[in-house]
Amino acid sequence: MDIDVLVVIGVGGMGLAIARRLGVGRTVLLADFDETTLGDAATTLHGEGHEVKTQVVDVSDHNSVASLADIAAGLGRVTHVAHTAGVSPEQAPIEAVLKVDLLGVAHVLDEFARVIAPRGAGIVIASMAGHMGALPSEQERALAITPTAELLDLPFLSPEKLGHPGIAYTVAKRGNAVRVQAAAAAWGKRGARINSISPGVISTPMGRQELSGESGQRMQGMVDMSATGRLGTPDDIAGAAAFLLDPQAGFITGTDLLVDGGVVAAVRAVQWAGSN
Protein backbone atom coordinates (compact mmCIF):
# COMPACT_ATOMS: atom_id res chain seq x y z
CA MET A 1 0.00 0.00 0.00
CA ASP A 2 1.05 3.61 -0.54
CA ILE A 3 -0.31 4.77 2.82
CA ASP A 4 2.15 5.68 5.58
CA VAL A 5 1.06 4.60 9.04
CA LEU A 6 1.93 6.22 12.37
CA VAL A 7 1.30 3.92 15.33
CA VAL A 8 0.90 5.60 18.73
CA ILE A 9 0.62 3.22 21.67
CA GLY A 10 -0.68 5.02 24.74
CA VAL A 11 -2.85 8.07 24.11
CA GLY A 12 -2.17 10.14 27.20
CA GLY A 13 -0.69 13.61 26.98
CA MET A 14 2.55 12.63 25.27
CA GLY A 15 0.94 10.16 22.89
CA LEU A 16 -1.70 12.65 21.80
CA ALA A 17 0.92 15.36 21.27
CA ILE A 18 3.01 13.01 19.11
CA ALA A 19 -0.05 12.01 17.08
CA ARG A 20 -0.86 15.66 16.42
CA ARG A 21 2.73 16.51 15.52
CA LEU A 22 3.34 13.61 13.15
CA GLY A 23 -0.09 12.51 12.00
CA VAL A 24 -0.61 14.93 9.11
CA GLY A 25 -0.64 13.05 5.81
CA ARG A 26 -0.54 9.65 7.52
CA THR A 27 -3.05 7.17 8.83
CA VAL A 28 -2.79 7.32 12.61
CA LEU A 29 -3.38 4.06 14.46
CA LEU A 30 -4.05 4.84 18.11
CA ALA A 31 -3.79 2.02 20.64
CA ASP A 32 -4.53 2.05 24.35
CA PHE A 33 -5.72 -0.24 27.14
CA ASP A 34 -8.53 2.14 28.12
CA GLU A 35 -11.29 2.09 25.52
CA THR A 36 -12.86 5.32 26.74
CA THR A 37 -9.59 7.23 26.64
CA LEU A 38 -8.92 5.77 23.20
CA GLY A 39 -12.29 6.88 21.89
CA ASP A 40 -11.89 10.39 23.27
CA ALA A 41 -8.44 10.75 21.68
CA ALA A 42 -9.73 9.50 18.33
CA THR A 43 -12.65 11.92 18.43
CA THR A 44 -10.31 14.81 19.18
CA LEU A 45 -7.94 13.95 16.33
CA HIS A 46 -10.78 13.28 13.90
CA GLY A 47 -12.13 16.71 14.72
CA GLU A 48 -8.75 18.21 13.87
CA GLY A 49 -8.75 16.56 10.45
CA HIS A 50 -6.61 13.48 11.04
CA GLU A 51 -7.27 10.05 9.55
CA VAL A 52 -7.53 7.86 12.66
CA LYS A 53 -7.99 4.17 13.39
CA THR A 54 -8.14 2.68 16.88
CA GLN A 55 -7.30 -0.61 18.54
CA VAL A 56 -7.55 -1.64 22.17
CA VAL A 57 -4.27 -3.19 23.30
CA ASP A 58 -2.82 -4.72 26.44
CA VAL A 59 0.93 -4.24 26.05
CA SER A 60 1.62 -6.79 28.79
CA ASP A 61 0.04 -9.47 26.57
CA HIS A 62 2.21 -10.72 23.71
CA ASN A 63 -0.71 -11.80 21.53
CA SER A 64 -2.40 -8.43 21.92
CA VAL A 65 0.72 -6.57 20.77
CA ALA A 66 1.31 -9.03 17.92
CA SER A 67 -2.25 -8.46 16.74
CA LEU A 68 -1.73 -4.70 16.88
CA ALA A 69 1.40 -4.98 14.75
CA ASP A 70 -0.46 -7.07 12.18
CA ILE A 71 -3.33 -4.59 12.08
CA ALA A 72 -0.88 -1.73 11.57
CA ALA A 73 0.82 -3.55 8.70
CA GLY A 74 -2.57 -4.17 7.12
CA LEU A 75 -3.23 -0.43 6.96
CA GLY A 76 -0.12 0.44 4.95
CA ARG A 77 3.59 1.07 5.44
CA VAL A 78 4.39 1.26 9.15
CA THR A 79 6.85 4.14 8.97
CA HIS A 80 6.58 5.56 12.50
CA VAL A 81 5.98 3.87 15.86
CA ALA A 82 5.73 5.76 19.15
CA HIS A 83 5.31 3.69 22.30
CA THR A 84 4.27 5.97 25.17
CA ALA A 85 2.10 3.64 27.27
CA GLY A 86 3.12 3.22 30.88
CA VAL A 87 2.12 3.35 34.52
CA SER A 88 3.76 5.23 37.36
CA PRO A 89 4.64 4.03 40.87
CA GLU A 90 1.73 6.12 42.14
CA GLN A 91 -0.69 4.21 39.94
CA ALA A 92 0.31 0.58 40.24
CA PRO A 93 2.00 -2.08 42.40
CA ILE A 94 5.36 -3.61 41.54
CA GLU A 95 3.97 -6.44 39.42
CA ALA A 96 1.92 -4.10 37.21
CA VAL A 97 4.80 -1.66 36.80
CA LEU A 98 7.00 -4.48 35.52
CA LYS A 99 4.33 -5.95 33.24
CA VAL A 100 3.46 -2.65 31.59
CA ASP A 101 6.66 -0.61 31.74
CA LEU A 102 9.21 -3.37 31.11
CA LEU A 103 7.52 -6.38 29.52
CA GLY A 104 5.21 -4.16 27.45
CA VAL A 105 8.15 -2.36 25.89
CA ALA A 106 9.85 -5.67 25.09
CA HIS A 107 6.71 -6.89 23.33
CA VAL A 108 6.50 -3.72 21.24
CA LEU A 109 10.18 -3.88 20.28
CA ASP A 110 9.83 -7.52 19.23
CA GLU A 111 6.58 -7.31 17.30
CA PHE A 112 7.09 -4.03 15.49
CA ALA A 113 10.54 -5.17 14.38
CA ARG A 114 8.55 -7.61 12.20
CA VAL A 115 6.50 -4.96 10.43
CA ILE A 116 8.41 -1.66 10.49
CA ALA A 117 8.96 -0.37 6.97
CA PRO A 118 12.41 0.17 5.47
CA ARG A 119 13.66 3.64 6.49
CA GLY A 120 11.03 3.62 9.23
CA ALA A 121 11.73 4.48 12.85
CA GLY A 122 10.37 3.97 16.32
CA ILE A 123 10.68 5.57 19.73
CA VAL A 124 9.99 4.20 23.19
CA ILE A 125 9.30 6.45 26.17
CA ALA A 126 11.70 5.57 28.98
CA SER A 127 12.34 8.04 31.84
CA MET A 128 15.00 10.17 33.48
CA ALA A 129 14.54 7.76 36.41
CA GLY A 130 16.66 5.32 34.44
CA HIS A 131 19.54 7.83 34.59
CA MET A 132 19.39 8.37 38.34
CA GLY A 133 21.37 5.34 39.45
CA ALA A 134 23.54 2.64 37.93
CA LEU A 135 22.58 -1.02 37.93
CA PRO A 136 25.18 -3.79 38.16
CA SER A 137 26.45 -4.65 34.70
CA GLU A 138 25.12 -8.20 34.90
CA GLN A 139 21.62 -6.89 35.61
CA GLU A 140 21.79 -4.45 32.69
CA ARG A 141 22.91 -7.27 30.43
CA ALA A 142 20.03 -9.45 31.59
CA LEU A 143 17.51 -6.65 31.04
CA ALA A 144 18.89 -6.09 27.54
CA ILE A 145 19.08 -9.61 26.14
CA THR A 146 16.94 -12.01 28.17
CA PRO A 147 14.26 -13.52 25.90
CA THR A 148 11.04 -11.59 26.36
CA ALA A 149 9.06 -14.60 27.58
CA GLU A 150 11.60 -15.07 30.40
CA LEU A 151 12.13 -11.42 31.28
CA LEU A 152 9.95 -11.22 34.38
CA ASP A 153 11.48 -14.43 35.74
CA LEU A 154 14.81 -12.70 36.40
CA PRO A 155 15.51 -13.13 40.14
CA PHE A 156 16.36 -9.47 40.76
CA LEU A 157 12.92 -8.47 39.43
CA SER A 158 10.99 -10.32 42.13
CA PRO A 159 8.73 -8.03 44.20
CA GLU A 160 10.58 -9.16 47.32
CA LYS A 161 13.92 -8.02 45.88
CA LEU A 162 12.60 -4.71 44.53
CA GLY A 163 10.53 -3.84 47.57
CA HIS A 164 8.80 -0.71 46.25
CA PRO A 165 7.01 0.34 43.04
CA GLY A 166 9.38 3.30 42.71
CA ILE A 167 12.39 1.00 42.54
CA ALA A 168 10.56 -1.25 40.08
CA TYR A 169 9.86 1.80 37.91
CA THR A 170 13.49 2.91 37.93
CA VAL A 171 14.72 -0.57 36.99
CA ALA A 172 12.05 -0.92 34.30
CA LYS A 173 12.94 2.40 32.73
CA ARG A 174 16.64 1.59 32.71
CA GLY A 175 15.59 -1.68 31.15
CA ASN A 176 13.78 0.22 28.39
CA ALA A 177 16.95 2.05 27.40
CA VAL A 178 19.19 -1.02 27.29
CA ARG A 179 16.48 -3.11 25.62
CA VAL A 180 16.30 -0.50 22.86
CA GLN A 181 20.07 -0.69 22.46
CA ALA A 182 19.85 -4.46 22.07
CA ALA A 183 16.92 -4.19 19.62
CA ALA A 184 18.71 -1.79 17.27
CA ALA A 185 20.32 -4.62 15.30
CA ALA A 186 17.01 -6.39 14.63
CA TRP A 187 15.38 -3.15 13.54
CA GLY A 188 18.44 -2.40 11.43
CA LYS A 189 17.93 -5.63 9.49
CA ARG A 190 14.67 -4.08 8.31
CA GLY A 191 16.49 -0.88 7.38
CA ALA A 192 14.81 0.86 10.31
CA ARG A 193 15.86 2.64 13.49
CA ILE A 194 14.77 2.48 17.13
CA ASN A 195 15.56 4.88 19.98
CA SER A 196 14.24 5.81 23.40
CA ILE A 197 13.38 9.14 24.97
CA SER A 198 13.81 9.72 28.70
CA PRO A 199 11.45 12.52 29.76
CA GLY A 200 11.82 14.43 32.97
CA VAL A 201 8.81 15.63 34.94
CA ILE A 202 6.17 16.33 32.30
CA SER A 203 2.89 18.16 32.86
CA THR A 204 0.60 15.29 31.93
CA PRO A 205 -2.12 13.76 34.12
CA MET A 206 0.34 11.04 35.16
CA GLY A 207 3.08 13.58 35.85
CA ARG A 208 0.79 15.74 37.96
CA GLN A 209 -0.33 12.67 39.90
CA GLU A 210 3.32 11.93 40.65
CA LEU A 211 3.82 15.51 41.86
CA SER A 212 0.93 15.14 44.28
CA GLY A 213 2.18 11.78 45.56
CA GLU A 214 4.71 10.74 48.18
CA SER A 215 7.71 11.69 46.02
CA GLY A 216 6.17 14.91 44.73
CA GLN A 217 8.09 17.32 46.93
CA ARG A 218 11.41 15.74 45.96
CA MET A 219 10.49 15.82 42.27
CA GLN A 220 9.46 19.47 42.41
CA GLY A 221 12.71 20.28 44.17
CA MET A 222 14.68 18.69 41.34
CA VAL A 223 12.71 20.68 38.79
CA ASP A 224 13.30 23.90 40.70
CA MET A 225 17.08 23.43 40.71
CA SER A 226 17.28 22.41 37.05
CA ALA A 227 18.67 24.72 34.37
CA THR A 228 15.23 25.36 32.86
CA GLY A 229 13.40 25.53 36.18
CA ARG A 230 10.11 24.31 34.76
CA LEU A 231 8.02 21.24 34.09
CA GLY A 232 8.21 19.76 30.63
CA THR A 233 5.22 19.80 28.31
CA PRO A 234 3.87 17.06 26.06
CA ASP A 235 4.97 19.21 23.12
CA ASP A 236 8.56 19.09 24.40
CA ILE A 237 8.45 15.32 24.07
CA ALA A 238 6.63 15.43 20.74
CA GLY A 239 9.41 17.66 19.42
CA ALA A 240 12.05 15.15 20.50
CA ALA A 241 10.05 12.32 18.95
CA ALA A 242 9.67 14.24 15.70
CA PHE A 243 13.44 14.68 15.54
CA LEU A 244 14.27 11.03 16.20
CA LEU A 245 11.60 9.74 13.82
CA ASP A 246 12.66 12.05 10.99
CA PRO A 247 14.98 10.81 8.21
CA GLN A 248 17.36 13.64 9.13
CA ALA A 249 18.15 11.57 12.25
CA GLY A 250 18.99 8.63 10.02
CA PHE A 251 22.36 7.94 11.68
CA ILE A 252 20.86 7.79 15.18
CA THR A 253 19.70 4.42 16.46
CA GLY A 254 19.96 2.34 19.61
CA THR A 255 20.38 5.37 21.85
CA ASP A 256 18.49 7.29 24.52
CA LEU A 257 17.68 11.00 24.37
CA LEU A 258 17.35 12.62 27.80
CA VAL A 259 14.67 15.35 27.63
CA ASP A 260 14.43 16.50 31.24
CA GLY A 261 15.11 20.24 31.25
CA GLY A 262 18.45 19.64 32.92
CA VAL A 263 17.22 17.78 36.01
CA VAL A 264 19.74 14.93 35.82
CA ALA A 265 22.55 17.42 35.14
CA ALA A 266 21.55 19.43 38.22
CA VAL A 267 21.35 16.35 40.44
CA ARG A 268 24.79 15.22 39.31
CA ALA A 269 26.24 18.69 39.84
CA VAL A 270 25.05 18.57 43.44
CA GLN A 271 26.52 15.09 43.87
CA TRP A 272 29.85 16.17 42.40
CA ALA A 273 29.98 19.24 44.64
CA GLY A 274 29.25 17.09 47.67
CA SER A 275 32.08 14.71 46.86
CA ASN A 276 34.74 17.45 47.00
CATH number of the domain that 87 lies in? 3.40.50.720
Residue 273 lies in a domain: no
List 99, 161, 173, 189, catalytic entry: 173
Query: CB-based burial of residue 158 (10 Å sphere; 0-12 exposed, 13-18 middle, 19+ buried)?
Result: middle
Residue 190 lies in a domain: yes
List 53, 99, 161, 169, catalytic entry: 169
How much is the average pLDDT of 43-54? 98
- pTM assigned to the model: 0.95
Residue 79 lies in a domain: yes
Pairing of strands 51-56, 256-259: unpaired
**Predicted pLDDT at 106:** 99
99 contact partners, CB below 8 Å, separation of at least 6:
60, 152
Q: What is the pLDDT of residues 61-90, one digit of tens each?
A: 999 999 999 999 999 999 999 999 999 998
Q: What is the domain range of residue 178? A: 4-200+231-261
| 161 catalytically annotated | no
Number of domains in the chain: 1
pLDDT band at residue 208 under the 50/70/90 scheme: confident
Is residue 1 scored above 70 in pLDDT? no
| 189 catalytically annotated | no
Residue 224 lies in a domain: no
